[in-house]
Amino acid sequence: MNGNKFKRVLLKLSGEALMGEDAYGINRATIIRMTEEIAEVAKMGIELSIVIGGGNIFRGVAPGAQGMDRATADYMGMMATVMNALALQDALKNHGVVARVQSALNIDQVVEPYIRPKALRYLEEKKVVIFAAGTGNPFFTTDTAAALRGAEMGVEIVLKATKVDGIYSADPNKDPTATRYSRISFDEAISRRLEVMDATAFALCRDQKLPIMVFSINKPGALKRAICGEDEGTLVHV
Ligand code: UDP
């Protein structure tokens, strides 16, 4: 038992979160800082699964992919997430945290495939599980993979790390009167047309009554505070 609000969570990290100030790829100082935060919560006994994006390496709908067959570009995007997952696993190991990567696409020599019961066992053993290759299907996103794997793992909450510290009533960069919601219901987010996750991911979480917490990955300690149930980011609830 741990005294935290949540015991089993899924963290959605975008590929861009690993980029730091760089234009693309993985910034070493950034991944080290991020894994320090992840390692801290893993060592608290939280059952932690992670879905990592690939936008820092390849995005299926990006200009670089223009003219390409969409499905082909999406498979490239999914493979990019495998690279990020391996980098994250390696960085966590350097912080004394055991992590296992499971991929929705079979790349047998490199990572094990996604096997739900095995992933659940890893979580029970307090190993961090990193889900790579999104849903394994083109035309989807890693946000949707986060909602899907979160539901499959029976997590209590999906923690969506973003560049801003929550959901605002308006764009805080454009409107100085914009205020942060500390809590908002799924229905209210829809009626106010607030973007929380992509529409498929949002609908899946809503159907499964799986709350989402939007918080800033750039704010030191925010991940831990969100897991401890402190007023951090925005909680999207049923
Ligand atoms: N992708 C996909 N199916 C999935 C997940 C991802 O085809 O289930 C592809 C898609 O091309 C996407 C890319 O992988 O653009 C990277 O994922 P995403 O954009 O979600 O990464 P993030 O923005 O979180 O870094």
pLDDT digits (tens, 9 = 90+) for 38-88: 999 999 999 999 999 999 999 888 887 889 999 999 999 999 999 999 999
Residue with tokens 């925005």: 234
Closest residue by CA, ligand 1 atom 6 = 141
Please give the helix or strand (H or E) that residue 191 lies within, else none.
Answer: helix 186-191
Q: Is pLDDT above 90 for 143?
A: yes
Q: With contact defined as beta carbons under 8 Å apart, do 223 and 213 qualify?
A: no
CB 10 within 8 A of CB 158: yes
Pocket of ligand 1 (CB under 6 A): 14-16, 53-55, 59-61, 73-74, 77-78, 81, 134-135, 137-138, 140-145
Q: Which helix (H) or strand (E) holds 89?
A: helix 70-94
- CA-atom Rg of the chain in angstroms: 17
The arithmetic mean of pLDDT across residues 213-226, rounded, is 95
Is there a binding annotation on residue 175?
A: no
This prediction's pTM: 0.96
Residue 11: strand pairing partners: 50, 159
Give tens-digit pLDDT for 147-183: 999 999 999 999 999 989 999 998 888 999 999 999 9
Give ipTM to 2 decimals.
0.98
Above pLDDT 90, what percent of the chain? 89
Residue 93's CB is within 10 A of a number of other CB atoms, namely 13
Contact 34, 18 (CB under 8 A): yes
